[in-house]
Amino acid sequence: MKDFKYVLTEQKENVGIVTFNRPEALNALNEQLAEEVTDALKAFDADDSIGCMVLAGGDKAFCAGADLKWIASQNFESAFNTNLAAYMDQVANLRKPVIAAVRGFAFGGGTEISLMCDMIIADTTAKFALPEVTLGVIPGAGGPARLTRAVGKAKAMYYILTGEAMDAVEAERIGLITKVVEDGQQLEAALKLARRIANNPRLSVMAGKESVNQQAEVPLIPGLKLERRLFHGLFSTPDQKEAMTAFAEKRKPSFKQY
């Protein structure tokens, strides 16, 4: 395992643990962090001694979403040319199971990467949200596609179009997460589950994951492509520029009236 700047890695028996480690920004995603967390999980996925992975965050935030310093200046050309937000799709394509252990904020990209995982264990402080609409864009790392498949059209439409947050109890009730546990117990609960999975026959676990995903995600790819192009295009709208500038300046945005 190579050295990373923004993630920590650890192996406990046959479980690989990847932890967001950018606490000064509440683990907000910049380009390097997005690449590092993906690469760390991929390395554990390729390690024959690992049977399951856990993705964890900090005490205040699992991941507070994308860093606006990274994405606010994007336009359609740069977003499309770099295929912005596509790199982390590889997390959803890992063959071994990944369990997200969520405490605190999991906003924007934090919710999206947790949805890429196979199961989500959250403690009672966890908050999930896809607030991109308030910034003049939509979620671009699989949020609409995966949220709709997880909770259904009616609930997904509500959370995508309002940007409202939900707590762990509501997230479990609507089927977004696997289980809610007591305050601070999310990592231990995730590790316990990961050990149980990792101790099962490797090929049957991998086959089971593949079969469930095949049923849950078809036809996912066309939806992801449309979602990403809309995401890219929205970086050229006046409301996106205004919203992200207003956020940085700590003022209320003034959106264009159509």
**248 in any annotated domain:** no
136 pLDDT more than 70: yes
Strands (E), the chain: 7-12, 15-20, 52-56, 61-63, 98-102, 105-107, 119-123, 127-129, 166-167, 179-181
**Average of per-residue pLDDT across 35-48:** 97
User: SS3 of 61, please?
Assistant: strand
Structure tokens at 25: 């920004």
Query: How far is it, in rounded angstroms, from Cα 165 to Cα 131?
Result: 8
On whether residue 24 sits in a domain, the answer given is yes
pLDDT at position 151 is 96
pLDDT at 69 over 90: no
Residue-wise pLDDT for 195-246, tens only, equals 999 999 898 899 899 988 887 766 778 888 888 888 999 999 899 999 999 9
Answer left, alpha or beta for residue 4, where phi above 0 means left and psi between -120 and 50 means alpha: beta
User: Is pTM beyond 0.75 here?
Assistant: yes
Domain residues for the domain of 23 are: 7-183
Both structure tokens of 72: 């606010």
Residue owning tokens 């406990």:
12
Express each pLDDT in 167-200 by its tens digit: 999 999 999 999 999 999 999 999 999 999 999 9
Domain membership flag for residue 204 = no
Strand ranges of the sheet holding 127-129, from the earlier edge strand across to the other edge: 61-63, 105-107, 127-129, 166-167
Give yes or no for residue 63 having a pLDDT over 90: yes
Which residues belong to the active site?
Answer: 66, 109, 112, 132
Check which CATH number belongs to the domain holding 73 and give it: 3.90.226.10
What confidence tier does 103 reach under pLDDT thresholds 50, 70, 90?
very high
Q: Are 177 and 122 in contact (CB under 8 A)?
A: yes
* pLDDT score recorded for residue 255: 87
**Is residue 246 included in any domain, yes or no?**
no
The span from the CA of 54 to the CA of 17, in Å, is 5
Q: How many domains does the chain have?
A: 1
Residue 222 is predicted with a pLDDT of 82
